[in-house]
């Protein structure tokens, strides 16, 4: 077996690994999209001052306002769970 044949085999093996990784990434992306679709929507009315405070906080944490509200609600629920144990 020549050096070229060995290199070709190595490249083919790498290509197979890359294809498998691409398939795994596609599966994970699909899973994330499905989870995002399963989120419930709700209408939330806030005073302008509260909205501005949350928006400023979200910007500090590099989140969207929606992401910040979801984060804060999750933290409150987790704190309540710990308190009730």
Residues 6+ apart with CB under 8 A from 58: 64, 65, 67, 68
pLDDT tens by residue, 73-85: 999 999 999 999 8
- Position 53 scores a pLDDT of 96
pTM: 0.55
pLDDT of residue 27: 92
Tell me which of 25-39, 49-63, 68-82 is least confident: 25-39
Domain spanning 41-85: CATH 1.10.1220: yes
**DSSP H or E run through 38:** none
Work out the pLDDT band at 43, boundaries 50, 70, 90: very high
Instruction: Spell out the domain ranges in the chain.
Output: 1-39, 41-85
Residue found under tokens 């944490």: 61
> Looking at the predicted structure, is the pLDDT value of residue 51 above 90?
yes
């Amino acid at each position: 077996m020549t050096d070229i044949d060995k290199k070709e085999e190595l490249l083919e093996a790498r290509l197979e690994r890359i294809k498998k990784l691409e398939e795994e990434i596609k599966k994970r992306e699909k899973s994330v999209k499905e989870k995002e679709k399963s989120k419930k929507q709700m209408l939330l009315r806030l005073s302008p001052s509260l909205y501005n405070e949350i928006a400023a906080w979200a910007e500090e944490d590099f989140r969207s306002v929606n992401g910040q509200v979801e984060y804060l609600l999750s933290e409150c629920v987790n704190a309540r769970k710990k308190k009730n144990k």
